[in-house]
Each structure stands twice: as C-alpha cells, then as structure tokens.
Amino acid sequence: MAARLVASFTRQHSPAVRIRADLELPSGTLIFEDPPVHPIHRRVLSKLFTPRHVAALEPKIRDFCVRALDPLVGSGGFDFVADLGAQVPMRAIGLLLGIPESEQEGVRDLVDAALRTESGGTMTQEQVLVDSDAFGEYVDWHARNPSDDIISQLIRAEFVDETGTTRSLTRDEVVTYVTVLAGAGNETTGRLIGWAGKTLADHPDQRRELVEDHSLIPNTIEELLRFEPPGPFMCRYVTSDVEVLDATIPEGSVMMAILAAANRDERRYRDAERFDIHRPDIQHLGFGGGIHYCLGNALARLEGTVVLEEVLNRFPTWQVDTEAARLAPTSSVRGWESLPVTTP
Ligand code: HEM
C-alpha cells in the first residue's frame, strides 16, 4: 500500500493521537520514517539485533527473573506487572544499551510518563518527545568508555547516508536511536507479560500443560501475541491514491489498521476467538508487517519465553485478583497496569 508511515504506537509506537498532534520528529525515529531514509536508519539498528546479540542476553534475563521471583515463593502472591512486566523489559533493554542497573528504573519511568494520556485526549509535542537529555548522558559516557554494548556500537557505526556520504552517526542521532529503542521495547513487552498472567489464569487446563511441557511455551507466546496483541492497531498517512478491495482511499487520508481484529479473523484462524496454545501456523500481526516489522521481535519473544518458564517453574497455578487488577490508561499499548495474583 502506498502509505507513508507517520505514527504507530508508543513514542515510536503511537496511534491516532500522535497523528492528530501533527508532530515534528527527529531524524532516526525510524518508525515514523519512509524510504529512502528509513532503510538506511533501520540497517544501522538491525545490525545490533543479530541472533548472537539477542541470544547473549538470555542468561542475564533469566538471572534477573530468578532474582525477582525467588523471594516471592511462599509469599501468597505477586503482581505480574509490577514484579515482572515493569521490570524484565527494562532490564533487557538496559543490558542491551549498557544503561547501568541503578539508572534503569528512572529511564523506564520517563518513557512511561510520556505515553500516558487522559481518555480521549490529544498528546502534546512535549508529551510525545521523551526528554532525550536523559539518554544524552549515557551516550556521552559511552563515548568516553567504549565497550561492546549497543550505544558504543552505534557511536562506532559507519554507514552510507541518503546523500551517498560514508559517515558515522552524530551524537543527536545516537540519542534518538537509543530513545527509540527504550520507548519501543519497554511497555510493549511489559504488556505481553501481563497478558500472559491474565490469559493463562483464564485457561488453567492449558496452563497445566505448560507446567508439564515447557516446549509448548514459544507457541504460547505466539498465541498470546495473536489473541491479546499489546499494540492492537497502527496508523498511516496515505501518500497517494490507493485501491483497497473495491474502494479508492485518497491521498492524505489517515488510516488505522486494527491488527487485533486481523488476528481474530475467522477467515484466517479456525475458532479465532478461542485461546489455544496448540494452534498451528500462527502468523499474527502483533509485530506489524512490511518494512516497519518490529525490530525487537526476537528480544520480546525471548523475554516472554524466559519469564513464563521461570514463573511456571515456581508457580504452577495462580488466580487473578480481579478487584485490584487495572488496565493501563495508555493511548495505544493495551494491557494491564496492575495484575495482582494470589498463589497457593
Ligand atoms: C511484545 C512486545 C512488542 C510488540 C507487541 C511490538 C510491536 C511492534 C509493532 C506492531 C511494530 C510496527 C509498528 C508499525 O508498523 O507502525 C513495531 C516496530 C518496532 N519495534 Fe516493536 N514490539 C515489541 C517489542 C519491541 C522491543 C523489545 C524492541 C526493541 C528493544 C522493539 C523495537 C521496535 C522498533 C525499533 C520498531 C520500528 C521498526 C521500523 O520502523 O523499522 N519492539 N513493534
């Protein structure tokens, strides 16, 4: 479809409120960019998401889960969001970027605050643009203390820009990339973890199967992303008239693609409204599609898998405290802000 990407959800992943706010965004905010600039910027970042980089994070993510969950054994309950969803993605991105553990919560809170909207409200430029100075400090520190984390690699990266010049990234561009990753990977993955807690509590028979057979967990993550996608929709401006089915969508229109609806399309999935960890051939749209397909998909999948394994190792059953559970008031990333559960 001939549609220029303007906004999706979160600061990078943001919906119609961001389109309505009509914002200027810094170069490097790749989810808002079009070719020819977008593939150049994406190539720079995608080198940092190689299978080797992502796999190297697994033991550290697992170690963090173990440290977070062990003290909760015997405590009678925990919160899937406060204890896991709000913690694990932040640690994973912190590890990837080289943000020290002591600073990670501050960074997450900054990003989350920028995503909060009053129901029906429109975002302001100030609200959308997370204060990237917070990341500037890390970038400057890494410029002085290079290692093999993403920030150091971005500082070293050389690429051919849209003018054909081989160059490295400016400091501001590095800050933008870092801000993009921190925004894109935190809340989305946190919501996936919340949905895992809720959906498996609603399907105790399938949860029991997972306790007995962890090899079912990766497909369960795919089914969760189909059934309860954390980013349920995305938006585009249409850059030239385009035919879709029998209609012409005129240039300049704003379109919203409801990924969550496509994920439950009965023409694609048998019993689409049923959660089924054994469902074959899941090709959900939870990570989008096309040139902006989620760059962090392997990391998100890894985090979801490790969290579920470690939760099920300790807590084969749990019950959601539905009185206390609360959905998050974010503009676009749908899921639980608080999901307290009781454990036997
Ligand atoms: C369950 C967790 C996640 C979900 C559901 C998710 C979903 C998505 C979706 C739907 C898009 C496409 C948006 C569009 O086309 O408008 C996207 C793009 C993106 N995601 Fe994710 N994401 C997740 C986790 C992550 C993580 C962990 C990272 C990185 C640390 C990340 C980084 C990105 C980036 C950089 C893009 C933009 C890619 C581009 O424009 O070329 N995401 N994500």
pLDDT digits (tens, 9 = 90+) for 276-322: 999 999 999 999 999 999 999 999 999 999 999 999 999 999 999 99
The continuous run of DSSP H or E covering 49 comes out as: none
Distance 297 CA to ligand 1 centre (A): 7
pLDDT at 218: 98
Q: Is residue 240's pLDDT more than 60? A: yes
Q: State the pTM of this model.
A: 0.87
Give 204-228 pLDDT, tens digit per residue. Answer: 999 999 999 999 999 999 999 999 9
pLDDT at 227: 98
Distance 187 CA to ligand 1 centre (A): 11
Distance 75 CA to ligand 1 centre (A): 35
Give 297-307 pLDDT, tens digit per residue. Answer: 999 999 999 99
Between 251 and 150, the more confident residue is: 251
**Helix axis angle, 101-115 relative to 88-97, nearest 10°?**
120
Please state, in angstroms and rounded to a whole number, the distance separating the CA atoms of residues 41 and 161.
Answer: 8
Phi, psi of 63 (to 5 degrees): -60, -40
Three-state DSSP state, 112: helix
Q: Is residue 152's pLDDT more than 60? A: yes
Q: Which atom of ligand 1 is nearest to the CA of 182?
A: 30
pLDDT at 169: 87
Name the closest-CA residue to atom 15, ligand 1.
292
Using a 6 Å CB cutoff, which residues line ligand 1?
8, 12-13, 30-31, 42, 93, 180-181, 184-185, 188-189, 192, 229-231, 234, 286-288, 292, 294-296, 299-300
Please state, in angstroms and rounded to a whole number, the distance separating the CA atoms of residues 70 and 56.
Answer: 23
In the chain, pLDDT over 90 holds for what percent of residues?
51
Give 166-205 pLDDT, tens digit per residue. Answer: 998 888 888 888 888 888 888 899 999 999 999 999 999 9
pLDDT at 312: 98
> pLDDT category, 128, cuts 50, 70, 90?
very low
pLDDT at 5: 33
- Residue 136, burial from CB neighbour count under 10 angstroms (0-12, 13-18, 19+): middle
pLDDT at 7: 32
Q: Is residue 120's pLDDT more than 50? A: no
pLDDT at 106: 63
Please state, in angstroms and rounded to a whole number, the distance separating the CA atoms of residues 296 and 54.
Answer: 9
pLDDT at 137: 77
- The region, left, alpha or beta by phi > 0 then psi within -120 to 50, assigned to residue 76 is left
Among 294, 334, 336, which is best to mutate for testing ligand 1, by the most ligand atoms less than 8 A from CB? Answer: 294
pLDDT at 314: 98
Please state, in angstroms and rounded to a whole number, the distance separating the CA atoms of residues 48 and 66.
Answer: 26
Burial 78-95 (b: 16+ CB within 10 A, else e): bbbbebbbbbbbbbbbbb
Q: Would you say 14 and 7 are in contact if contact means Cβ atoms under 8 Å apart?
A: yes
Q: Taking all residues of the chain, what is their mean pLDDT, rounded to a whole number?
A: 84
> pLDDT category, 24, cuts 50, 70, 90?
low
Q: Is residue 14's pLDDT more than 50? A: no
Q: List the single range of 46-50, 271-275, 277-281 with lowest mean pLDDT.
A: 46-50
Among 11, 13, 233, which is best to mutate for testing ligand 1, by the most ligand atoms less than 8 A from CB? Answer: 13
pLDDT at 201: 98
